[in-house]
Amino acid sequence: MANGSFKSVFDIIGPVMIGPSSSHTAGAARIGKVVRNIFGEQPTQVDIYLYESFAKTYRGHGTDIALVGGLLGMNPDDERLADSLRLAYEAGMEVAFIPKREKAEHPNMVRLVVSTDTKKLSVTGISIGGGNIQISELNGFKINLEMGIPTFVIVHQDVPGMIAHVTKILSDHKINIGTMTVTRESQGEKAIMIIEVDQHDIGYCSDELNTLEDLHSATFFE
């Protein structure tokens, strides 16, 4: 764990997973699945940039099959994970692995650029050990998203009133906001809200948030 403490017994014994390494397999699968959830659909083109330890051992430690399995919606313990590259090919997903030589902010870092004919997304993820992950970049925005905390990730256009519309929906459902970060490319361009909340099992709010005008995507993680 990054902070040196354990939140549960599962942080000590590690996650249930397919593969030899919680960092290289379970964490990688979770990064892939988070990217799939944020993107909102299966991409047709995937460029996977691997750094440091990931770049050196991604084939031997199963990082490649884990990332692609996550992009197909699989969990780290999914028995289909070993066949993910074949399944991606059959599903029409073109995948390119690109090892990078430069030093990264963490030895287990990967940047995934996923796209279809109509949209594109870039996400940088870090596997911090024990199957735990962080998301440090989203479409060029520097963020700090840790799995395990109930969080809404909202991509929207920077227009007046958007924050008020989002927080009103959460308030109507009696959802309490713990922390909130808003970042934008520039005035009037795309922006991202990272909203950590106190309640669990409230993913249904994403459907209502996604009806808002000028909102590109709203995804809930916990």
Query: Both 165 and 121 in a single domain?
Result: no
Q: Which long-range contacts (CB under 8 A, 24 or more apart) does 170-173 make?
A: 170/195, 170/197, 170/205, 173/202, 173/205
Full domain range(s) for residue 82:
15-146
Query: Both 26 and 128 in a single domain?
Result: yes
Q: Looking at the DSSP assignment, which residues form a beta bridge with residue 184?
A: 191
Note the pTM of the prediction, 2 decimals: 0.76
Query: Both 129 and 215 in a single domain?
Result: no
Which CATH number is 22's domain given?
A: 3.30.1330.90
Query: Both 74 and 122 in a single domain?
Result: yes
Which CATH number is 208's domain given?
A: 3.30.70.260
- pLDDT per residue as tens digits for the range 25-83: 889 999 999 999 888 889 999 999 999 999 998 888 899 999 999 999 998 889 999 99
Query: Both 178 and 96 in a single domain?
Result: no
Question: 143's torsion region: left (phi>0), alpha (psi -120 to 50) or beta?
Answer: beta
- pLDDT per residue as tens digits for the range 64-76: 999 999 999 998 8
Query: Both 72 and 129 in a single domain?
Result: yes
